[in-house]
Amino acid sequence: MTAGQPQPSMRSVERAFDVIEVLERSDKPLRLSEVARRAGLSPATTLRLLGVLQRRGFVVAGQQAYHLGPAALAIAHGFLVTDGLSRAATPVLQELAATTGLTTTLHIRSGLERIVIARVDGADPLRYQLPIGRRLPLHLGAGKVLAAAMPDDELDALMAAVRDLGTAGGKPVSEADLRAELEQIRERGYHFSMNERVLGSSGISAPVPAPDGHSMASVGISGPAERHPESEMLGWVPELRRAAAALGRARDL
């Protein structure tokens, strides 16, 4: 079960997921040639892969262009049904949203990004559309508590992968700045952010504890920055920790 050193790979399978990822990251349907270009594959190979994906329902070919198919929803459903953390999330987030009046969100780290797993809007909803499943960066906002829990080699990979570490507020951030901030987060056990990923938004987040210390999940609460000053947010830290602990317990159920 532990990661072996040589990491046996399977080129064609890997490429199939490259194609899926290209489609996932595009906000509109893509033509064959465009998929091939973005995935770095030959048109012939891309066509064959798309054919398989299409028969599996992961890709749908509209007139002139491909996009993701409904099987994507089916596996998401499978994930939500099996995953202990997701199943535990809704009630815990609801309670946290009710007591704080803020929007609560649960993220899981996946590779060098995080994914929104669950979310409950507070009384004061900052709503953007359908955020569940959205991929977000690890170096901004609530992502930092996940970055803070990464093993060194993965953290190095993250630093190498991200071009611009600066915030939405326009503040430039060096690698050293970020590393120092992560160290703080490790000590304090939470993170307060403001104007980091989204302008005008602030929030606090905490890791969901994991047995091995490398937490893969975080809970956060957030709201409009001008209406919820830092002092108020910090007051919620104990509640946030309680929720994080509850989720940690529920995880391996």
Partner DNA sequence: GAAAGACTTTTCACTGTGTGAAAAGACTGG
Partner DNA sequence: CCAGTCTTTTCACACAGTGAAAAGTCTTTC
> Closer CB to DNA, residue 101 or residue 151?
151
Q: Pick from 21, 31, 77, 229: which binds DNA (CB under 7 A)?
A: 31
151 contributes a contact to its own copies by CB under 8 A: no
For residue 30, give the amino acid letter. Answer: L
Of 39-78, which residues contact its own copies (CB under 8 A)?
A: 48-49, 51-52, 55-58, 60-64, 67-78
Of 59-118, which residues contact DNA (CB under 7 A)?
A: 64
26 interacts with, out of its own copies, DNA, none, CB within 5 to 8 A per kind: its own copies
Q: Pick from 48, 87, 134, 242: which binds DNA (CB under 7 A)?
A: 48
In angstroms, the CA 33 to CA 160 distance is 30
> Closer CB to DNA, residue 10 or residue 130?
10
Helical ranges in 83-199 per DSSP H: 84-100, 143-147, 152-161, 175-188
Residue 217 pairs in a beta bridge with: 108, 208
In angstroms, the CA 112 to CA 38 distance is 20
Residue 135 pairs in a beta bridge with: 115
Residue for token pair 């997701």? 86
**Which part of the chain contacts DNA (CB under 7 A), choosing from 11-19, 143-151, 184-192, 214-222?**
11-19
In angstroms, the CA 112 to CA 146 distance is 10
> Closer CB to its own copies, residue 107 or residue 228?
107
7 contributes a contact to its own copies by CB under 8 A: yes
174 contributes a contact to DNA by CB under 7 A: no
134 interacts with, out of its own copies, DNA, none, CB within 5 to 8 A per kind: its own copies
11 contributes a contact to DNA by CB under 7 A: yes
Tell me how far CA of residue 42 lies from CA of 13, 33, 38, 114, in angstroms. Answer: 15, 9, 10, 30
Q: SS3 breakdown of the chain: % helix, strand, coil, rounded to 5?
A: 45, 20, 35
Tell the burial category of 57 from Cβ atoms under 10 Å away from its Cβ (0-12, 13-18, 19+).
Answer: middle
33 contributes a contact to DNA by CB under 7 A: yes
32 contributes a contact to DNA by CB under 7 A: yes
Residues that bind its own copies (CB under 8 A): 1, 4, 7-10, 12-14, 16-17, 20, 23-29, 48-49, 51-52, 55-58, 60-64, 67-83, 108, 110-111, 115-117, 130-135, 252
